[in-house]
A and B are shown apart, each in its own frame.
Chain A
Amino acid sequence: MKALMFGWEFPPHILGGLGTASYGLTRGMSLQPDMDITFVIPRPWGDEDQSFLRIIGANSIPVPGRGCIEFSGRYPDNLLEEIGNYEAVARELAWREPCDIIHAHDWLTYPAGIAVKQMTGKPLVIHVHATDFDRSRGNVNPTVFAIEKRGMDEADHIMCVSNLTRQTVIEKYGQDPGKVSTVHNAVEPLANRDRFVKHERKDKIVTFLGRITMQKGPEYFVEAAARVLAKTDGVRFVMAGSGDMMEKMIDLVAQRGIADKFHFPGFMRGEEVQTILADSDVYIMPSVSEPFGISPLEAMQVGCPTIISHQSGCAEILSHAVKIDYWDIDAMADAIYAIVKYPAMYASLHKLGEEEVNTIRWYDAGLKVRKVYDQVITHRR
């Protein structure tokens, strides 16, 4: 089985969850003995791990009349132009890279996937890691929506990272439920888990970690923090990361008069993430709309009790995490209070959460994807 995949990010140079998921999924799938994956990204950096798949850079494939095209590999202002160029490269690859199935990750690569499908007649599956409804809290960009919708219409099958996203795809993009399935994300096992330890300290630490944007619901975290602090001493709140709402959040923290207990350490990278999670007493992700959300799983891997919103896809597969509605700041404050005040709450989430997350494997997600491939291919014949 030869799969030609189109993606936008691949570790170690990643900007969001898409890259992490692309890596985990392909690695999990590569454990199937007859699976052969070619992964196209706009711009490789050369230090990607190619031990289990082959990576092709779109910037290294000459296009007739234009030669090799430069890609930023990020999300630049002329993103639509890059998407178009990526599609042009895909047309070249259609001939060079024969495959059994085409697999496109997120809207940026849908046009490329469609192009190859049209030229080769091979089936196309698309993987929805997010929709514009998640990114924009309902304020969709019509151009993006059109690209997403066309990708879904043209796809032979649509895989979504959660039932939540599946529902969006069915309801907002008018897709036939029979053609849309859910393949929940997983998490890579953590190497050297022992390196990440919790240090004894006087104050309990409650951590928010991620882009400080509307989608992640940072303001609800601040409000919940204010409620906890009104009643309790010995708790500190951390909002790690950066984003367009950061200044607004700093203002809000000052307005609530909790700036002495609320900290903004900035963007964290690499192992800093695990280090701060392992050292926290609570990790919280109050996302307003999260197609999946891999970071709670990363927190659980280092034994950090986790609070997530019901509006996060990962809530569908986790039992040992506290779930609240993102807008329910009373419930959020209550959950934070319980974890820092009732030892059994911490102990239980710490121990059982880590056990649970270690059973969520990319290999199993890969098997589900493979089942979809097999179905789609048989169906075409």
Chain B
Amino acid sequence: MTNICFCFQMHVPYRLKRYRFFDIGNDHYYYDDLATEELVQHVATTSYIPLCQTVKEMIKLSKGKFRCAFAVSGATIDLFRQFAPELIDLLQDLNQTDAVEWVAAPFAYSLASEYNKAEWTEQMNRHAQTIKELFNKQPAIIWNTEMLYSDDIAGYAQELGYKGVMTEGAKHIISWQSTGHLYASAVAPKMRVLVRNAQLSDELAFRFSDPTWTAFPMDAEKYADILQQQDEQEIINLWVGAETFGIRQTQATGIFDFLKALPYYVLEREMGFITPSDAIKRLTATETLSVPYPITWAGEAKDLSTFNGNDLQQEALTKLYAVAERVRLCPSKRLKADWINLQDISHLHYMGHQDSGISPYDSPYDAFINYMNVLSDFLQLVDEQYPSSIDNEELNSLLRTIANQEEEINRLKQQLSKTKKTKTK
């Protein structure tokens, strides 16, 4: 039986305000709250809210047979709380149905897994905690930022006790293999890897209303036929940005009605719906997947180049993550909140030379100037907490002492007990 696995990913960035270099050192508030509120409200009302309502109805109409997953970063949940609390209520309603799985993501939709493992771990834990608080569920599967995945990340995920990771069905990785199976990581054999069906997902996301698409016009029955015709697929992973519904494909294209009708036709063809966790429970991984270099779902190359491929992005990332340890040591909540917001992948998107079509800036240079000015102020604040005159080396040795203290204590304890034993002898 073919199983359809839907996952909807939600992410909204905090908009930075216009921040000039003469603000550095004078103004420590970096955000344009009005623009952010407007953005969150726009995305929520045109896309996320109608999507959640549609999903709720789908679950009801199919008597719980429609199941799906949501990936929402922690920073985005915070923005919903602040600017679209009605959406939080709706997500909690969905949670009540037990047909929805919440997957884990880094708290900030960031590249932490690539630049600072300890930061990533902290963000994963913080996100899991947020999900626990909000939905009383423990996430088991990871959707890392932009589906970023490599063998290393499988290892990290295993250390944190996760069961699976979701990633892109990048052609150069999958090659002759199929996205329709469950895989085991080549380096962490307990870790399961689920692979996005890039073609079917992207056709839905980008071509649904495209009259040049051979399958146009698409309806639910036709789509169910297409899904049924996929050969030997145990699982078809249809994972898309939630903004596909209502923004990329506007309501007028009929995308919501399409989605609502889909479960009926899928179930009629004796296919089923599962969530990523269901998949890991029910399916067996017969083959391994080896991903030595990081892949993402972005761009033609499906690698990190969309985010760190040019000089601007590299400088921003290097400067940002250079202070990761210091920020983690720091007790200031405000500094930590800024730290999360500055890591958002959107900032790097805006600095890309390929036109993303989503940038609020005139050009990548404009985006870089503004970001670097903000970052300069932020770095100064961090520096005030932990002066760079103390020097990384000294700080590092301090950090190492702290990190190793448990080991050291254990060693000393052992020594002590040994001495005691010898004494008693």
- Footprint of B on A, CB under 8 Å? 227, 230-231, 319, 322-323, 330-331, 333-335, 337-338, 341-345, 347-349, 351-352
Contact of B368 among A333, A337, A345 (CB under 8 A): A345
Contact of A344 among B20, B22, B311, B363 (CB under 8 A): B311
- The answer to whether A342 and B22 have CB atoms under 8 Å apart is no
Shortest distance in angstroms between A304's beta carbon and chain B's nearest beta carbon? 15
Contact of A337 among B21, B315, B362 (CB under 8 A): B21
Interface size for chain B: under 10, 10 to 19, 20 to 34, or 35 or more residues?
A: 10 to 19
Can you list 24 contacts pairing A with B, beta carbon distance less than 8 Å? A230-B22, A231-B21, A319-B353, A322-B365, A322-B369, A330-B20, A334-B20, A334-B21, A334-B369, A334-B373, A335-B369, A338-B373, A341-B21, A341-B372, A342-B368, A342-B369, A343-B315, A344-B314, A344-B315, A345-B368, A345-B372, A348-B310, A349-B365, A352-B353
Which A residues are CB-close (under 8 A) to B20? 330-331, 333-334
Shortest distance in angstroms between A339's beta carbon and chain B's nearest beta carbon? 9
Nearest A-chain residue to B314, judged by Cβ: A344
Which A residues are CB-close (under 8 A) to B316? 344
- Footprint of A on B, CB under 8 Å? 20-22, 24, 310-312, 314-316, 353, 362-363, 365-366, 368-369, 372-373
- The answer to whether B21 and A345 have CB atoms under 8 Å apart is no
A250 to B362, alpha carbons, bound, how many Å? 33
Contacts A319-B353, A334-B373, A335-B369 given; does A348 touch B311 at CB 8 Å: yes
Which B residues are CB-close (under 8 A) to A341? 21, 372
A35 to B193, alpha carbons, bound, how many Å? 64
Of listed A230, A344, A345, A351, residue having the most chain B CB within 10 A: A344
In order of increasing CB-CB distance, the 5 nearest A-B pairs are A344-B315, A344-B311, A337-B21, A338-B369, A348-B311
A351 to B312, alpha carbons, bound, how many Å? 12
Which A residues are CB-close (under 8 A) to B24? 231
A339 to B104, alpha carbons, bound, how many Å? 39
A46 to B316, alpha carbons, bound, how many Å? 55
Which A residues are CB-close (under 8 A) to B311? 344, 347-348, 351
Shortest distance in angstroms between B312's beta carbon and chain A's nearest beta carbon? 5
Number of A-B contacts (CB under 8 A): 58
Q: Determine the main DSSP class of A at the interface with B.
A: helix
Contacts A330-B20, A334-B20 given; does A345 touch B365 at CB 8 Å: yes
Q: Determine the main DSSP class of B at the interface with A.
A: helix
Nearest B-chain residue to A307, judged by Cβ: B365
Which A residues are CB-close (under 8 A) to B21? 231, 333-334, 337-338, 341
A110 to B363, alpha carbons, bound, how many Å? 39
Which A residues are CB-close (under 8 A) to B368? 338, 342, 344-345
- The answer to whether B312 and A323 have CB atoms under 8 Å apart is no
Contacts A231-B22, A338-B21 given; does A323 touch B369 at CB 8 Å: no
Nearest A-chain residue to B25, judged by Cβ: A231
A231 to B22, alpha carbons, bound, how many Å? 7
Q: 20 new A-B pairs (CB below 8 Å) besides A342-B369, A348-B312?
A: A231-B22, A319-B363, A322-B363, A322-B365, A323-B362, A323-B363, A333-B20, A334-B369, A335-B365, A335-B369, A338-B369, A341-B21, A342-B315, A344-B314, A344-B315, A345-B312, A345-B368, A345-B372, A348-B310, A351-B311
A330 to B310, alpha carbons, bound, how many Å? 26
Nearest A-chain residue to B375, judged by Cβ: A342
Nearest B-chain residue to A305, judged by Cβ: B365
- The answer to whether B363 and A342 have CB atoms under 8 Å apart is no
Nearest A-chain residue to B315, judged by Cβ: A344
A319 to B315, alpha carbons, bound, how many Å? 20
Which A residues are CB-close (under 8 A) to B372? 338, 341-342, 345
Shortest distance in angstroms between A44's beta carbon and chain B's nearest beta carbon? 43
